[in-house]
Amino acid sequence: MTNPFDPQNDHPGAGEQPQSMPPQGQQPQQPQQPAQPAYPQQPAQPAYSQQPAQPVYPQQPTQPGYNQQPNPGAQQPGFGQQPNYGQAPQFGAQQPGYGAPAARTFGTFDAMESLSFGARMFGRDVVQWLIAGAIPAVVMIVAFIFGMVGITAMSDSATRGYSGGYYTYEEPSSAGVIFGGVGLGVFMLGMVVASALMIIYSLGVYRVSALVFNGQSFTWKDVYNLKGTGKLFGVIFLTALAVNVGMMLCILPGMVLAFLLVFAPAFAVLEPGRSLGDAFSRSLTLAKENVGPTLILVLLSAVIMWIASMIIIGSVLLAPVFAFAYGHAIRRAQNIPVPTV
């Protein structure tokens, strides 16, 4: 029978009376309680694995030795890997190369051999050197003569005497003043000219010595040729200035500078392609590397010049000897052949 309340019969049995009822006075049977659904057992806790062992790091690789450059083709360490550094040097261990003697720039030379060479080279062209050296010497002698005449003329024209307890003094005559003034004027002018000639002569001595070392000949006129002497003049001027200033500072600094820069003029002419500063630095290096021979050469040169200075032109005439001696020392230290005498 169709349920009027459920025409679609979506809920069958709805609205129907139960077919049988329990008898009167009899308790209806209680429906059995549905069994409690068995809940699934609590899943066992997963057994945690043991603490993983710490990874074993590789041993610290050895450091490369000092001064070893890494191989540019070597494989770079992977990410997380320590680069291949090496062991640090032990404290107190000697560093490689430490204490090793520095390489020398120059060889050595014999001071006596150099001075002997200078004397022989001077004697080989003694006539040319005498003529060249006589020019400033003659000018200097003439200047001294005029100076003495001027002083004598002025002093002879004035008289002094003692009379009546008083000193008497007469004014010099006009002629004495004129002659005396002319004489002193010539003296001062002559000394200026002689000084200029001495400077030119000093430059020419070194310049000509370089010509001789290069196998060329010369005459006395070449000594007064100023061609190519600009750098040499700068070296001589700065050397003289430094030595004189050093002499004013308790003398010792000047002596040290004279010792260290003694080869600078010769370097300036023997190595024309180098700068002015190179002449000083190479002289300093040569002197430091040959302290003994340089000291002997400087001391003997000073003694000879002191003896020669007792004669007016003595120091002038001997200047070529020392120019050749210093040039010889440089060439020997450089192992370069020198002219035979």
- DSSP-assigned letters across all residues of 252-274: HHHHHHHHHTTTHHHHHHH-TTS
CB-CB contact of 39 with 45 (8 Å): no
- Specify whether the CB–CB gap between 84 and 305 falls below 8 A: no
Q: Of the ranges 67-81, 94-108, 126-140, 312-326, which one carries the lowest mean pLDDT score?
A: 67-81
CA–CA separation, 334 and 317 (whole Å): 28
Structure tokens at 248: 């004013």
Name residue 169's beta-bridge partners. Answer: 160
Distance CA 264, CA 233 (A): 11
How many C-beta atoms lie closer than 10 Å to residue 106's C-beta? 19
Give the model's pLDDT for residue 231.
Answer: 95
pLDDT value, residue 50: 52
What DSSP string runs through 76-129?
PPPTTSPP---PPPPTTPPPTTTTPPPPPSS----HHHHHHHHHHHHHHTHHHH
Contact between 325 and 114 under an 8 Å Cβ cutoff? The reply is yes
pLDDT tens digits, one per residue of 271-309: 999 999 999 999 999 999 999 999 999 999 999 999 988
Question: ∠292-298-301 over CA atoms, to 5°?
Answer: 135
Helices (H) and strands (E) in the chain, counts: 11, 2
Q: How far apart are CA 203 and CA 267, in angstroms?
A: 13
DSSP secondary-structure letter at 249?
T
Mean pLDDT of 305-326: 89
* pLDDT per position as a tens digit, 31-73: 555 555 555 555 555 455 455 555 555 555 555 544 455 455 4
Task: Please give the mean pLDDT across all residues of the chain.
Answer: 79
pLDDT the model gives residue 67: 47
> What's residue 95's pLDDT?
53
Least confident span in 96-100, 196-200, 206-210, 239-243: 96-100
Q: Which residues contact 151 (CB under 8 A, 6 or more apart)?
A: 180, 183, 184
Q: What is the pLDDT of residue 313?
A: 74
Interacting residues of 193 by C-beta distance below 8 A, sequence separation 6+: 139, 143
Q: What is the pTM of this model?
A: 0.66
- Sequence-distant (6+) residues with CB within 8 A of 177 are 154, 157
Q: Are 246 and 255 in contact (CB under 8 A)?
A: yes
pLDDT average, residue stretch 108-112: 97
The pLDDT value recorded for residue 145 is 92
Residue 229, pLDDT > 50, answer: yes
Statement: residue 79 has pLDDT above 80: no
pLDDT > 50? residue 18 = no
Integer Cα distance of 229 and 237 in angstroms: 12
The pair of structure tokens assigned to 92 is 């107190």
pLDDT of residue 288: 96
Are the CB atoms for 126 and 104 separated by under 8 Å?
no
Kindly tell me if the per-residue pLDDT of 147 is higher than 60.
yes
Burial of 90 (0-12, 13-18, 19+ CB in 10 A): exposed
